[in-house]
Amino acid sequence: MTRVGILLFDQVEELDPTIDVRREERFVDDGDVVTSSGVSAGIGMALHPVARLGGTDRAREVRRHMQYDPEPPV
What Rg value do the Cα atoms of the chain yield, rounded? 13
What is the maximum alpha-carbon separation in the chain? 39
Segment (H or E) for 39: helix 39-54
Global confidence as pTM: 0.55
Average pLDDT, the chain: 79
Question: How far is it, in rounded angstroms, from Cα 27 to Cα 74?
Answer: 12
Beta strands 27-29 and 34-36, pairing class = antiparallel
pLDDT tens per residue, range 41-60 = 788 888 989 999 999 999 99
